[in-house]
Structure 1
Amino acid sequence: MSKTILLIDASHFLFRAFFALPPLNTKSGHPTGATRGFLSMLRALRRDVPTDYVACVFDPKGKTFRSDIYPDYKANREETPEDLKLQIPDVFDAVRKQGIPLIQVDGIEADDTIGTIAKSAGEAGCKVVIATGDKDYAQLVTQDVVLINTMGAENTWLDIEGVKEKFGVPPKQIIDYLALMGDKIDNVPGVPKCGKKTASKWLEEYGSLENIIENAAAVKGKIGDNLRDSLAFLPVAKALVTIKQDADISSQVNSLEDLKIKDPDVAALKELYERLEFRAFLKDLKDESKSGPIKTDSKKSEEDASDGLDLFSNSEEKEVQLAEFSQQTIESPDEAKHLVEEICSQSKEGKLPFLFVLADFKDFTYTLRGIAVGWNTGKNWFVPVSTNWVDPQGITPEEFTQIFGSWLSDPAFEKSCYDAKYIAHVLADIGIEFNGIKEDVLLQNYVLEAHRTHYIEKLSYNWLKFELQAEEVLLGKGVKKKTFSEVDILSCAKFAMERSYVGAHLSDLFCGLIEKDPNLQKIYREIEMPTSRVLFRMEQNGVLIDKQLLAKQTAELQAKASELSKKAETIAGEKFNLASPKQLGEILFEKLGVLINGKPSKKTASGNYSTSEEVLSELALDYPLAKIALEYRALTKLISTYTEKLPTQISPRDGRVHTTFEQAVAVTGRLSSTNPNLQNIPVRTPEGRRVREAFIAGPGKKIISADYSQIELRIMAHLSGDKGFTEAFKKNQDIHRATAAEVFSEPLEAVTPDQRRIAKVINFGLIYSMSAFGLAKNLNIDRHDAKNYIARYFQRYPGVSKYMEDTRQHALEKGYIQTVFGRRLEIPELQASGARKAAAERAAINAPMQGTAADLIKMAMIAVQDWLQEENLESKLILQVHDELILEVPDKEVEVVKKRLPEIMSSVAELHVPLIAEVGVGENWEAAH
């Protein structure tokens, strides 16, 4: 019986693991994400390819012979990220301690080492399996050599026929195929515009690269010109993409026995896994028999997953693997009706169904393509909605609404899902109101791990070790991206049902974890879930936009930008493109000789001078051209982001803009918005404020704006308990004037406007832990004076100083801080060093204030929406921006809303200082301020 050898392209998998997985760290701040991912891949490979012979092959440091052939070989590669560099010794250590031969030959790339071993092993009668995701290795495939890629949705094996099917050419033509196309990753030029189809077509017609070169004159069109222009380099390209099979690797490998797996050093591995905090791997050391798939035990999973702070540090250790599950596609209305009966029956027994929706979005409208419904028991159904599908099947939208509408809209039938707000929009477009949402996996995970990403693919892999097929694998991406209706139903069904099954497990798991912490329960049940429903209504409401006004503003802004461009050319003494950072840099630093801190500017790695906003802001005080460039950029950004773009985002259905509020993005709990982003309209310039004039009320209505007054400073007073700070707010004093009186030792009435300005900068600056250097720069004063201001501030407000220090210490010890209402904010960078740690400490001081402010505005939104519904008012919440709520209000309701709105906002919580909301009314958003 022939032997089998597994050759692992380890460098490829290590980089894939680093960029694919979240940036995990130990409690001490040491990065571990790539190590964990690589070792998981290695374990899966050893399970799928059982063999006594393995080589884990890494690329060496430094250049190889290919750099001598072509000096620009891999010249486009960026330097290895620092966090990955720190993990490479851990990976090497773990591989060796597992008894797996690790090969790294100086001057020889991993593919040449693998090619050489594969050839000699094949000649010795061995079967060879090469683990890689690199297409170059397809040239090595023979009857005895196959490839496996474990980094996709499923393990992919490639033999000779597989190579032909995937690339369109057999293995013996892969080298020529690669030479023609080139390799962007390795910076190997090929024939411009020659893709897979062209390369395989030429090789089918001419047989080899040499014959293609010989017949280049016969190839017509632009691609023929490109081929002829590339003739001189093609032989070099071929040499670069050819994997050597006769490399001298004798320094590390002389025979197959050198690659035999040894017994693992269990004691050393235990020490390593403890240091890296890999509990799942430690468990495997104790019980090696648990290597196959197991059925999910959600209660046990919750117990294993929750262990104090560890719940929030490395969630990927909660290893729950999934058993097989049933998949059934509904093909008729009768089957759909039976499914609804089954769902309702299960619901009455207390079993919560999980819902996942497939929909396409075009022309401001969602088109439902199907739903998957399942339980963690293994039952899963997919209901295709057949309008315009590539292979019509299932039920029509009308039948779907008739059969499923009652269940989906009935609050008595509770459901779990992923991103309920999105599903509500999809269903709303076919006339179904989505109710009865008990659990939302997106928000559950956001409450548990706000500092991580919350894509269901990531959650599935991190928590369940189940790799879901990525959407771009199913649909593609970019201009060639398909809609769900253009993909066959079986593929869509599998895609959706896997998500419904995984989602059901995640929902149960997260629910158990949240229930263990009353604070998290409050944040999830009383804030995040109700906020989702309010945001859905706001997104449905939309905001009316004045297109004509925006067109007028665009013309005015373009005229101003043109004037600035002419001024810049006058200063430069020549015409140039002010929008070009490269040309601006050359004018500033070469022609005009502008200095930065008294020294000439140096070019960046790109070969150009930096003209970033930070650089230009520093120069603007002394150099008019830098100031003009900043003003020009601000104007053109307003045009491209708002005055020109907003009209294109108006829905033709109602003439309104419907932004999407992102609820699970900001670590602090703050909301953001996209398509368009309405949170970042600049308000410090007249031009920016004028953009808000285009946000108008409908006929017979007004815009009402309610904004929390100095909310973060009030929260600072509450958190610090400082007597002077809290008393100023309780007496309703101007806090900046009161601060100025303390800092400058002046009576309140004697404070000058300039002193108040300085105090305002100090108040807000210290919230963000501004240093004396930062304060001096902000106020344009001497650093010694700034230091004295800060010292006097803390003398007058000792409670603030104590709070800041206590918060910093708590964050360093625990790795997290909490808002007033118990939202837990993880700050992993606290365990880093240098500038990263300093920035994390500043964030830790500010985060409780930002997070509490975020909680308050969400609580206000919920309370206001409840009041509007209870009173059956026609007024609608339409926007939320930072600490401000914006409503569109019928004239007949203006007085009642104007009176009641600030009362509601001020009473959503009790702090040590009063909450105050200021209200304005106007025909548009700007006028309401």
Structure 2
Amino acid sequence: MNKLLLLVDGSSYLYRAYHALPDLRNSAGEPTGAIYGFLNMLRRLQKDYPTAYRACIFDAKGKTFRNDLYQEYKANRAAMPDDLVEQTGHILELVDMLGWPILQVEGVEADDVIGTLAVKAHEDGFDTIVSTGDKDMSQLVDDKVTLVNTMNNEVLDREGVIKKFGVPPERIVDYLSLVGDTSDNVPGVAKVGPKTAVKWLTQYHTLDGVIENAQNIGGAVGENLRQSLDWLPQAHELVRIRTNCELPDKFASIETSLLKKPENTEGLKKAFERFGFKSWAKELNAARQETPKAAGQIALFDESEDKKSGFVNDKEYETVLTEKQLEKWLEKIDKADLTAIDTETTSLDVMNAKLVGISLSIEPGHAAYIPLAHHSMEQSEQLPLQSVLDKLKPWLENPKKHKVGQNLKYDSHVLANYGIRLQGIVHDTLLESYVLESHRRHDMDSLSERFLDYKPVSYTDICGKGASQIGFDEIAIDVATHYAAEDADVTLQLHQSMWPRLKENDGLRFIYEKIEIPTSIVLQKMERNGVLIDVDKLNVQSRELGVKMDSLQENAYVTAGQPFNLNSPKQLGELLFDKLKLPMIKKTPSGAPSTSEEVLEKLAEDFPLPKIILDYRGMSKLKTTYTDKLPRMVNPETGRVHTNYAQAVAVTGRLASNDPNLQNIPIRSEEGRRIREAFIASPGNKIISADYSQIELRIMAHLSDDASLLKAFHDGQDVHRATASEIFDITPLEVTSDQRRYAKVINFGLIYGMSAFGVASNLGISRTDAKNYIDRYFERYPGVARYMDETRQLAREQGYVETVFGRRLWLPEINSPNGPRRQAAERAAINAPMQGTAADIIKLSMIAVQDWLEKEKLDSKLIMQVHDELVLDVPEKELVLVREKLPELMAQVARLKVPLIAEVGVGDNWDQAH
């Protein structure tokens, strides 16, 4: 049996590690994300492929022979980011400390060094494993060389290369010469993609054979080939890996020069402590060899391919204008395992959007656009809209025909406008990105640049901006095809890039498949259901608010001794701080005195005018945001208000409601509560509200495993009274209302990371008293204190925390050198698992309730979700059944160490039911 040599493309690992992790930093503010990611991948690799012979190969600085061959070689590559440059030197030192031989050879690339070593290993009786995701390396594969792609655990031997590329390893150089290599800025033959290249090489065997037969190849690609004949030999030289590089003398023998060296344990320990890798430092101290917990938890990204995996840029986009073309595509999508679908419309308002066209893609680089309502060409040249929809409808409504899209909730609404219920939604790239990296942007352009290193055509590129922007239905059909088909193509390729990363981690896969995808489907139905609004009631309330605002304004003038613009921060600041000489609490970034709500609330404790301003602002917000606006947002066809629930916004997993926002209606004031009276049941129905009781405190009990907190919930105690009893060392019966209020502030305050200063401000007590209360709280609830300390530490080490179900909540600033930002991230680290778990639970409840309603074929409808509350519109005949079943369903969606309890209310309107 041959010996085994393990070769790692270190330069690739550098960028993979850098892009995989957030901006992790140690206590001194040094960047550490790339260091951590690189070492974690290396440790995992050597565990999977234990061998005494190994090497890590990096690109040397400076130009290579390829730059001499072609000046534009890699000219599209951006310079290495400064913070990665700063980490690279440390990485090289640490790789050496781990005992890995390191090679950097001037004038050639790491690929060439790896190729040379692989050939030499073969001669010396070694089998070779090359750890890389670079497709160029496939040319090295033979019976002694195997590639391992750690992104998806793909192992490529000879048969694997043929299956993946359609050509054997010895033809990969010819293949790459024809299709080009965008990552290295090596052009191929224009319009020649993988399919065409494989076809030519199958027919003519080699690149030379293709060149010799260039005159026999017809069409536009044949002409492009003939125009590239002078270039192809140079492309061949650029993509061919050298296997005969001159290596330093010390690497003359693999057996001696690439033998693993002993680890520098002391050096590693100091480095791990310096960079904040405490789990690894402890592991060294304990002389254990297993992978640390933090490393295992972050393996999703560490084992993944460089995010910028490359866009398949050989585009074949088809405009479907005939019945024959449509039938051909119907056959394709019917047979496909997965189809990317995207709609082009006249509006972002889902209830009013009209279809302009539909795009489809079933393989990278290939897509079709079906124009349906463009005004830029004769209507007769397009297929009739209804005819196309009639033919597509069976496929669109078939749950067994799997679809992927970018925010398919929107497309579902658009198709619903035409009586089509989109089914078979198994993937959504918006949600894939959200589950992978909730803290980053999830629009298609951002995802494409981040994951595919490709910038797609933007909407404004073809439609313009601002007042001069035209509708998509006015775009020329050829331009529209490129844009729309590319959307479907990019979506498919994004899915192929992100899905392998998701499915490797059980927690993230559960969040995506069992929570986010089904939640999206439920949300579409909820949005479609809409909410019935009593417009007359809102109009009355709006007039009443106007009268109250006028009264408050007059009162403000009298109190101030002069009229002024209550809506002008500048005038208000001059009045409060220059004329009335009120104490300045805070400044704006420009240095002016702040008149924020926080400042006014503080001033209102001692002065009347700030209180009047606050009341006026509250009334004004209610009037402009709700009582004036909601009547205008009633859909004339349905008579209801249809909000949009944004699913990929909050990093914790919470939903956001907009247009209109139904989640932030103030309920502390009487006027705010009255607005909920205008949310009414349908005729013959009642509103049911089901709200989880103290869910975040229950999750805290579960996560902290604190005995006293668990007991309080298991015994059904009033947890705030129980906390007051512990803090004030009295029996629960002796707790006063003020003491219970103090305990409630502390219970919820600590969940949100509130400091002694925050507790003191909230309760109006001294900071010393607040600190004493908090200290006493942690004495009585040591499990909570332990949980907070351990969570902060874990967040610093791995850059994220997790919900009970495995949702990752990234904290990019957790190791920031900026004190306030770091402290905010530490507070978020404590709160995010609770708020995120609560978000997961309410989503699971929505799914369970909707499934039950459909299974029982009830007419009751989910109409709103507000944080921990579900709101339903229920026929009176179903009232008893739904009221009884709802809390049962909501209690059973998760098994925590304490019971989940949902409280149910019923009424003619939302306020009565709440």
TM-score w.r.t. the length of structure 2 is 0.70
The yes-or-no answer on 1:564 pairing with 2:552 is yes
Specify the alignment match of 2:575 in structure 1: 587
Equivalent in 660, 665, 684 of residue 676 of structure 1 = 660
Aligned equivalent of 1:406, options 394, 399, 423: 394
Distance in 2 of aligned mates of 1:678 and 1:332: 46
Over 3 Å counting, the alpha-carbon distance change for 1:713 and 1:555 in structure 2 is same
Partner of 1:788: 772
Cα displacement (A) at 1:323: 3.5
Q: Structure 1 residues 915 and 362, CA, compared in 2 at 3 Å: closer, same or farther?
A: closer
* Cα distance change on mapping 1:650 and 1:509 into 2, 3 Å: same
| 1:760 is aligned to 2:747 | no
Residue number in structure 2 paired with 1:637:
621
Within the alignment, does 1:367 sit opposite 2:354 as a pair? yes
Q: Contact (CA 8 Å) 2:577, 2:584: kept in 1 or not?
A: no
Secondary structure of 1:913's aligned partner: coil
Aligned to 1:358: 344
- Alignment-derived partner of residue 835 in structure 1: 820
Answer yes or no: is 1:920 the counterpart of 2:909: no
Q: 1:813 aligns with which of 797, 805, 814?
A: 797
Equivalent-residue separation in structure 1 for 2:72 and 2:383 (angstroms)? 53
Q: Is the 8 A contact 1:391 1:489 kept in 2?
A: no
C-alpha separation in 2, matches of 1:388 and 1:586: 56
| Alignment of structure 1 residues 521-536 onto 2, 5 Å | 521-536=509-524
- Give matches, 1:370-519, under 5 Å: 370-386=357-373, 388=375, 392=379, 393-519=381-507
Separation of aligned partners in 2, 1:607 and 1:516: 50
State percent identity of aligned pairs: 48
1:302 alignment partner in structure 2: 151
The equivalences for 1:136-155 within 5 A come to none
1:37-76 correspondence runs (5 A): none
Contact 1:816/1:827 (<8 A) preserved:
yes
Q: How does 1:846-865 map to 2 (within 5 A)?
A: 846-865=831-850
Report the CA distance shift for 1:24/1:820 in structure 2 as closer, same or farther (over 3 A).
Answer: closer
Choose which of 625, 631, 642 in structure 1 pairs with 2:609.
Answer: 625
Q: Equivalents in 2 of 1:385, 1:677: separation in Å?
A: 33
Alpha-carbon distance between aligned partners in 2 of 1:425 and 1:48, rounded to the nearest angstrom: 56
Distance 1:485 1:300, change over 3 A: farther
In 2: Cα distance, 1:825 partner to 1:701 partner: 40
The answer to whether the 8 A contact 1:294-1:321 is kept is: no
| Shift of residue 612, structure 1, vs aligned partner | 1.2
The number of equivalent residue pairs is 690
Contact map agreement 1:333 1:399 (CA 8 A) in 2: no
CA change 1:926–1:50 in 2 (3 A) is farther
**1:862: Cα distance to partner?**
0.5
Q: Which amino acid aligns with 2:873?
A: E
For 2:324, which of 310, 317, 334 is the aligned residue? 334
Residues of 2 paired with 1:452 and 1:304: CA distance?
26
Supply the distance in 2 between the matched residues of 1:637 and 1:647 (Cα, whole angstroms).
15
Give the Cα separation in 2 of the matches to 1:54 and 1:544: 59
Equivalence for 1:199: none
Deviation, structure 1 residue 436: 1.0
1:216-240 CA-partner distances (Å, limit 9, x unpaired): xxxxxxxxxxxxxxxxxxxxxxxxx
Equivalent residue in structure 2 for 1:653, among 626, 633, 637: 637
Aligned to 2:309: 319
Displacement of 1:311 in angstroms is 4.9
Distance 2:150 2:340 in 1: 19
Structure 2 CA distance, aligned partners of 1:55 and 1:899?
A: 67
Aligned-partner Cα distance in 1 for 2:881–2:805: 30
Aligned-partner SS, 2:862: strand
465-474 or 315-324: bigger deviation? 315-324
Give the whole-Å Cα distance in 1 for the aligned partners of 2:398 and 2:891: 34
**CA shift for structure 1 position 322:** 2.1
* CA deviation vs aligned residue, 1:559-608 (integer Å, no higher than 9, x gap): 111111111111221111111111111111111111136xxx76x56574
| Equivalent in 516, 520, 529 of residue 541 of structure 1 | 529
Per-residue CA deviation, residues 272-326 of structure 1 (Å, 9 max, x unaligned), is: 999xxxxxx9999524899x99799999483499997375589974432424021
Matched residue of 1:356: which SS?
Answer: strand
Question: AA paired with 1:356?
Answer: D
Of 604-613 and 364-373, deviating more is 604-613
In the TM superposition, residue 650 of structure 1 has moved relative to its aligned partner by: 0.8
Deviation at 1:378?
3.0
Q: CA deviation at 1:636?
A: 0.6
Please tell me whether the aligned partners of residues 387 and 397 of structure 1 are also in contact (alpha carbons under 8 angstroms): no
Are 2:867 and 1:882 equivalent residues in the alignment?
yes
Change beyond 3 A, Cα 1:768–1:26: closer
1:503 alignment partner AA = T
Structure 1 match to 2:706: 722
Find the aligned partners of 2:770 and 2:81 in 1 and give their Cα distance.
45
- Aligned-partner Cα distance in 2 for 1:304–1:47: 33
Farther-moved stretch of structure 1 (466-475 vs 428-437)? 466-475
**CA deviation vs aligned residue, 1:476-530 (integer Å, no higher than 9, x gap):** 3333332210211211211121122221122122222222111122111111111
- CA RMSD in angstroms comes to 3.8
Evaluate the alpha carbon distance shift between residue 391 and residue 607 of structure 1 in structure 2; reply closer, same or farther with a 3 A threshold: farther
Structure 1 residues 391, 491: closer, same or farther in 2, change over 3 A?
farther
**For the structure 1 residues 613 and 394, does the alpha-carbon distance in structure 2 shift closer, same or farther, using more than 3 Å as the test?**
same
Distance 2:533 2:854 in 1: 25
Contact kept in structure 2, 1:713 and 1:764, CA below 8 Å = yes
Q: Show structure 2 runs of 5+ residues with no match.
A: 1-18, 34-61, 97-103, 116-132, 139-146, 155-294
Q: What are the superposed Cα offsets for residues 870-900 of structure 1, whole Å, 9 maximum, x if unpaired?
A: 1111000000000000000011111111111
Contact 2:359/2:484 (8 A) holds in 1: yes
Work out the CA distance in 1 between the residues paired with 2:742 and 2:89.
61
Per-residue CA deviations over 1:730-775 (Å, capped at 9, x if unaligned) read 1111111111111111111111111100010010001012111111
Amino acid in structure 2 at the alignment position of 1:366: A
Counterparts of 1:680 and 1:819, CA distance in 2:
24
Equivalent-residue separation in structure 1 for 2:81 and 2:805 (angstroms)? 41
CA distance in 1, matches of 2:438, 2:753: 23
Query: 1:685 deviation in Å?
Result: 1.2
Offset at residue 472 of structure 1 (A): 2.2
- Structure 1: give runs of 5+ residues left out of the alignment: 1-20, 34-41, 57-83, 98-265, 275-280
SS class of match (1:327): strand
Whether contact under 8 Å (1:670, 1:851) holds in the other structure is: yes
Alignment of 1:95-114 (within 5 A): none
User: Counterpart of 1:907?
Assistant: 892
Provide the C-alpha distance between the structure 2 equivalents of 1:877 and 1:477, rounded to a whole number of angstroms. 38
Counterparts of 1:712 and 1:495, CA distance in 2: 45
